[in-house]
With several copies, the nearest count.
Chain A
């Protein structure tokens, strides 16, 4: 029951197909940027992207025409403002129309929990008084059979593929992440297939008790991609590159500049290591 590591290009080739629903998670931390880039390089199309906070990684995928739909709860540039490519797709259908399934963080994280737990729906105290349920059939209300209270329900999320970035895997393929762990365990378990990029592969995981560990047999591909969460951060390895985040605002503002940047830095590089090298120089 061990999962041996493969290249990220191979993992995306094997496990991500056109039309798939793909959850890329990491709540401000451990965002799988390298994997997102590889999806762009391999020119996947018609993906349903699933992510609580579709920040730069989804802005890039959407702007490059990989997505037909977005399941999300907050699509902004953290601490900065708008995601220009996301807005351009929703407001002006560029480069393609983008269907949206919009919930809230509480609902989406509960939907992942339901997905991991084999339930068809999540139940929460949510959306009361909000206009969102008027625009999303995936938000309904049910009645508690014991108290007759009205509760919100939302369908479980079970993506075709989950992609996460973690700090470590051992040689058997067991994965350890720590710090802000977000919804990563949940999407890994909710998805049909799971790709994990890691900072490093080690002999022994040395996980502290009750740490967030994914056993090898729950994972389909492990790829060693040091720095694979850049410009987000990997706790214990490197910090968030706030300057790179701030710079994205200008890069992404115009379609032309965005396209040129992506052509040069993502499509024009072989892999994430080359991308980072090119960007640094």
Chain B
């Protein structure tokens, strides 16, 4: 079996963090890949909720968009967009929000709006979508992002979606519960330190050095007292992930 790529490791590590039976509001892309991998491995009863209104979707292939027919056909129920946000997310029924972003900062705040100034952006990103309310209202948030010093930055250019804001009890003071419990990257896992809420490295993937991870991060990183090494992907995990991607590829080739 081919050894796993960094992206595969990231996806598998993220999937492991999703508990069986939990309800997960899933962003498109790697979050969707990781959530479906969890469903196909250790968490068969995870409930996947997509912002397109599909609840309990069990796609056999990965959707390219957040509202592919595959999601609707395999869902337990399909509701309107207002309902998915009002009754299901805001109603407090989401255990885990699984998000990506263009930037994440030291206090796990997310930017998917602009690089540069809002009025005169250097890069105009797609924008908020469902993320501000997912990050605010899900009981827990998991963030997946590739390690890169322009992506993991000391302070995001724009807070689209709240992590721990200025750190410490700032999030709680703003009236929010929950908060991100982990940032999973292609190099390791960062978690918020208990009191300061600053992201610190708790786990590194096999073969990744501390220098490497520091170089790929836009602020001076701190490390947990006990940094663990990521358990290597099991054959089951790797096979399930690769078959999922193969099915997806095959289906896209066939369609076009």
A residues neighboring B (CB under 8 Å): 1, 27-29, 52-53, 72-76, 78-79, 82-83, 86-87, 90-91, 102-106, 109-110, 112-113, 116-119, 124-132, 135, 149-150, 174, 179-183, 185-186, 189, 207, 209-215, 217-218, 233, 235, 239-243, 245
B45, B76, B123, B176: the one within 8 Å of A213 (CB): B76
Of B78-86, B181-189, B196-204, the one touching chain A: B78-86
- Residue of chain A at shortest CB distance from B22: A1
B72 partner residues in chain A, CB cutoff 8 A: 29, 179-180, 209, 235
B interface, how many residues as a size bin? 35 or more
A83 partner residues in chain B, CB cutoff 8 A: 126
List 8 tightest A-B contacts by C-beta distance, closest first. A129-B162, A28-B67, A76-B126, A243-B256, A74-B129, A78-B65, A213-B77, A117-B86
Contact B77–A186 (Cβ < 8 Å): no
Q: Which of B85, B90, B137 has the most chain A CB atoms inside 10 A of its CB? A: B85
Is B171 at the interface (CB under 8 A from chain A)?
yes
Distance between Cα atoms of A199 and B203 in the complex (Å): 52
B174 partner residues in chain A, CB cutoff 8 A: 128-129
Is B175 at the interface (CB under 8 A from chain A)?
yes
Contact A105–B51 (Cβ < 8 Å): yes
**A210-B79, A218-B93 known; 17 other A-B pairs, CB under 8 Å?**
A27-B53, A72-B127, A74-B128, A79-B28, A104-B128, A106-B133, A109-B85, A124-B133, A126-B136, A128-B174, A131-B113, A182-B80, A185-B87, A189-B91, A189-B93, A207-B77, A245-B64
Q: How far is the CB of B33 from chain A (nearest CB, A)?
A: 11
A218 partner residues in chain B, CB cutoff 8 A: 93
Contact B129–A73 (Cβ < 8 Å): yes
- 6 A-B residue pairs with CB within 8 Å: A28-B66, A109-B81, A125-B137, A128-B174, A217-B47, A242-B256
Contact B256–A241 (Cβ < 8 Å): yes
Is B52 at the interface (CB under 8 A from chain A)?
yes
Is B31 at the interface (CB under 8 A from chain A)?
no
Chain B 90-115, CB-CB to A under 8 Å as 1, else 0, gives 11110000000000000001000100
Q: How far is the CB of A17 from chain B (nearest CB, A)?
A: 22
Contact B53–A102 (Cβ < 8 Å): no
Contact B52–A128 (Cβ < 8 Å): no
A-B contacts at CB below 8 angstroms, number: 223
Q: How far is the CB of B104 from chain A (nearest CB, A)?
A: 14
Chain B 19-45, CB-CB to A under 8 Å as 1, else 0, gives 001010000110000000000000001
Distance between Cα atoms of A201 and B34 in the complex (Å): 34
A215 partner residues in chain B, CB cutoff 8 A: 47, 55-56, 76-77
Is B124 at the interface (CB under 8 A from chain A)?
yes
B67 partner residues in chain A, CB cutoff 8 A: 27-29, 180, 182
Q: How far is the CB of A238 from chain B (nearest CB, A)?
A: 9
Q: How far is the CB of B96 from chain A (nearest CB, A)?
A: 14
Q: Which of B160-213 contact A (CB under 8 A)?
A: 160-162, 165, 171, 174-176
Contact B80–A183 (Cβ < 8 Å): yes
Distance between Cα atoms of A51 and B66 in the complex (Å): 16
Q: How far is the CB of A120 from chain B (nearest CB, A)?
A: 11
- Residue of chain A at shortest CB distance from B20: A1
Distance between Cα atoms of A192 and B79 in the complex (Å): 21
**Contact A209/B128 with A1-B47, A90-B121, A116-B91 known, Cβ cut-off 8 Å:** no
* Chain A interface mostly: loop
Q: How far is the CB of A130 from chain B (nearest CB, A)?
A: 5
**Contact A104/B21 with A27-B52, A179-B72 known, Cβ cut-off 8 Å:** no
Distance between Cα atoms of A86 and B126 in the complex (Å): 9
Is B252 at the interface (CB under 8 A from chain A)?
yes
A112, A149, A209: the one within 8 Å of B82 (CB): A112
Contact A128–B21 (Cβ < 8 Å): no
**Contact A180/B52 with A116-B87, A239-B69, A241-B256 known, Cβ cut-off 8 Å:** yes
A78, A90, A186: the one within 8 Å of B64 (CB): A78
**Contact A104/B91 with A179-B78, A239-B255 known, Cβ cut-off 8 Å:** no
Q: Which of A113, A117, A212 has the most chain B CB atoms inside 10 A of its CB? A: A117
A185, A217, A243: the one within 8 Å of B80 (CB): A185
Distance between Cα atoms of A116 and B93 in the complex (Å): 10
Q: Which of B68, B91, B128 has the most chain A CB atoms inside 10 A of its CB? A: B128
**Contact A181/B53 with A106-B90, A130-B162 known, Cβ cut-off 8 Å:** yes
- Residue of chain A at shortest CB distance from B87: A116
Contact A75–B91 (Cβ < 8 Å): no
Contact A174–B76 (Cβ < 8 Å): yes
